[in-house]
Amino acid sequence: MEDHKNNRFDDFFNTGAAGPNDKPDAEKRAADSGEKRQTYYYSYGPYKSNGAANPAVGAVIPAVGSEGVSAVDVTAPQPVRPLYPEGASGSDTAKGTWQFDNKKRSPIRSVLISFLAGALVVSGLMFAADRLNLFGGDSGGTAGSGSIFGTSGGGVRTTALDLDRPGNIASIAKSANPAVVLIETYVKPRSNSSRNYWYDDPIFRYFFGDPYQQSPRSQGQDNSLQPSGAGSGFIYKESGYILTNQHVIDGADEIQVTVEGYSKPFTAKVLGSSYDYDLAVLKIEGDKPFPVLPIGNSDDMDVGDWVVAIGNPYGFEHTVTVGVLSHKGRQIPITDRNGQREYKHLLQTDASINPGNSGGPLLNLDGQVIGINTAISAQAQGIGFAIPTSTIAPLLDKLEKGQEIPKEPSPFIGVTLQDIDKSWVEDLKLENTDGAIVLEVQRGTPAFQGGIRQYDVITKVNGEKVANSKELQEKIKASKVGDKVTITVMRDGKPIDLTVTVGDRNAAQTQ
C-alpha cells in the first residue's frame, strides 16, 4: 500500500501547522512516550466498526479487496502550510511563498463579468442542443410538440403529454347556454302561529293595541307570494320538459322558469318528482320549440376526462366552469328537513359548483349531459357531486307521467347493535371485544326469522370476522337483497352459525 505521506488526501484531516516534512505533535508525543498512537473512525448512519468496541477511539477500518480483508489504519494527515498575507505576522519564508495582487477589484464588475460569461455558456449549449437535436425525435430541429426527451434509438418510447385545455369549451358554452334555465321558487306567507286570537277583535286592538300590526303598505299583500329559493335546470325536450333536482322545487307554491331569449319567465308545472333520487321534471308551455340539451351516457366517461358545468350560482346566471371527472360511484348521505337522502353512484368533479348550480347540467366535451349538479362538500374546495345519467335515464318516463318511483332496495337484517364494552367481556363469556352485541331484534325481520336473539354477539359474517357494529353494518349493506349470509353468533360462550336471508328495508317499512 502506498505510503500515507505521499497520499495528498490526508491533508484534509490535518489540524497542525508544522512544515511538510515534520511529524504532527501528537505523533511525536506518542513516539517519545512509547504509547500506541490512537486513530479515529467516522461513520454515517447506523454502521459500526468491527475493529474496536468503541468506534470513536482506536478503531480500525476494514478494507475489502479481492484478496480478502486487511486492516487500514487511519493515520494523522500531513500538515497544511499556513497562509500569511502580506502585512500579517509570520515567518519571512512563509511571506515569500504566496503572491498577492494589491489592486482593489470592484465586486459589481466581477458579478457582471461572471453573469455575462455564464449567459454566453448557456446560450452556446442551447444552440448546440437545438442544432444537434439532442432532446428531440427523429427529425431535426426542436423537439416536436408534446414530446419529452423522445429518441429514435435505444428502444426509448416518446411520451406524449397534452398540457392544453380542450379548445371547444367556448363553443360548448355557446350552444348549451340557451337550454340552461333559471328556476325560482315562491311560497305563500305562513300565518304566525304565536298570534293571540284576541288580536282578531277590532275592539280589543283599539284599546290594547296590536303588536303584530302591519304597515298600511303591506296590509293588502297578505296573500302575495314570497321568493324562497333559486336553482338551475335544463330543457331536454323541445316541447318544454325540464329536468332539475327535487330539492330545488321542494315546498314551492309557484315555480317560475327564466329561459334565455324570452322577456318574461314561464310558470312551470311539476309533472313528477322523487325525494330519494332527488329528481324532478317540470313542464313549461311556449309558442315555439325550445332549445334542448342531448342526454349522454355517463358510463362512457373515464376518471380524468374534461367536464363542463353550467348553472346560476348565487344569482350569477349562465356561469360556466371547467374541470375534470375526479371519481365515479361516490356514495354520500345528506340530511335535510325531510329526512336523509342516500346518494349513490355519484360523479365527483372539481369543476366549481356552488349554491344555485343545483339542477344544472354537467356536460362532456361533445356537449352532452352526463350528470346533474347536485351537491358540494362544505369542508373542501373543488369537490362537487352530480347525479349520473345512468341513474336518471331509467326514471325519466315515470317522472314525466307522475308515477311513483319505488325506492332503491336497501339491504338490512333488522337488528339494533352496539359495540362491546370491555366490562362485558367476562359476563358474555368472550375472549375480547371483537364483534357487536344485539340489543334488539324486530319481529318478522330476516334476523328474527334466521334465529338471531337479543344479547347474541355477532362475530362473523360469511366466515369473516367483524371488529365492531359499524363493520358489521357495512358488510350487510354490501350484500344484495335476497342473499343468504352465514352469521356466526356467540351465545352463552358457544359459537353458533345461523343462515339469514338479507331483506329490503324500504319494502319492510312499506308493509
- Please check whether residue 70 is in contact with residue 63, taking contact to mean a CB–CB distance below 8 angstroms: yes
Active site residue 427: no
- The residue behind cell 351516457 is 297
Give me the mean pLDDT over the 275-289 stretch.
94
Say which range, 77-81, 299-303, 314-318, 350-354, has the weakest mean pLDDT. 77-81
Rounded Cα distance between 184 and 301, Å, is 31
Give me the mean pLDDT over the 65-80 stretch.
39
- The residue behind cell 304565536 is 194
- The residue behind cell 334488539 is 440
Alpha carbon of residue 21 to chain centroid: 68
CATH number of 411-510, picked from 3.30.1340.30, 2.30.42.10, 2.40.50.100, 3.40.50.2020: 2.30.42.10
212-239 residue pLDDT tens: 454 443 444 446 889 888 999 999 999 9
Q: Hey, CA dihedral for 255, 259, 264, 266, is it positive or negative? A: negative
* pLDDT given for residue 67 in this prediction: 40
Secondary structure, 3-state, 205-233 = HHHHCCCCCCCHHHHCCCCCCEEEEEEEE
Query: What is residue 147's three-state secondary structure?
Result: strand
Nearest by Cα to 311 from 246, 245, 265: 245
Rounded Cα distance between 146 and 149, Å, is 10
The segment(s) of the chain belonging to CATH 2.40.10.10 are 298-388
Cβ neighbourhood burial of 336 (10 Å; 0-12, 13-18, 19+): exposed
Q: One of 326, 352, 358, 479 is an active-site residue; which one? A: 358
393-410 residue pLDDT tens: 999 999 999 998 888 788
Backbone angles phi, psi at 290, to 5 degrees: -90, 155
In single-letter form, the type of residue at position 155 comes to G
Return the CATH class of domain 298-388. mainly beta
Secondary structure, 3-state, 46-113 = CCCCCCCCCCCCCCCEEEEECCEEEEECCCCCCCCCCCCCCCCCCCHHHHHHCCCCCCCCCHHHHHHH
Alpha carbon of residue 227 to chain centroid: 36
33 pLDDT more than 50: no
Structure pTM?
Answer: 0.56
Secondary structure, 3-state, 185-198 = EEECCCCCCCCCHH
- Please check whether residue 25 is in contact with residue 16, taking contact to mean a CB–CB distance below 8 angstroms: yes
In single-letter form, the type of residue at position 408 comes to E
Burial 27-55 (b: 16+ CB within 10 A, else e): eeebeeeeeeeebebeeeeeeebebeeeb
206 Cβ contact list (under 8 Å, min separation 6): none
79 pLDDT more than 90: no
Alpha carbon of residue 349 to chain centroid: 10
Cα maximum dimension of the chain: 126
**C-alpha triplet 145, 164, 170: angle, nearest 5°:** 135
Give the containing element (helix H, strand E) for 471: helix 469-477
Rounded Cα distance between 126 and 144, Å, is 16
- Please check whether residue 360 is in contact with residue 235, taking contact to mean a CB–CB distance below 8 angstroms: no
Active site residue 49: no
Q: One of 278, 350, 434, 504 is an active-site residue; which one? A: 278
The segment(s) of the chain belonging to CATH 2.30.42.10 are 411-510
CB atoms inside a 10 Å sphere around CB 499: 11
Q: One of 247, 273, 352, 469 is an active-site residue; which one? A: 247
Please state whether beta strands 266-274 and 226-237 pair in parallel, antiparallel, or not at all (unpaired).
Answer: unpaired
231-269 residue pLDDT tens: 999 999 999 999 999 999 999 999 999 999 999 999 999
106 pLDDT more than 70: no
Query: What is residue 17's three-state secondary structure?
Result: coil
418-460 residue pLDDT tens: 999 999 988 888 989 999 999 999 888 999 999 999 999 999 9
Active site residue 210: no
61 pLDDT more than 60: no
372-382 residue pLDDT tens: 999 888 777 88
Chain mean pLDDT for the chain: 75
Query: What is residue 406's three-state secondary structure?
Result: coil
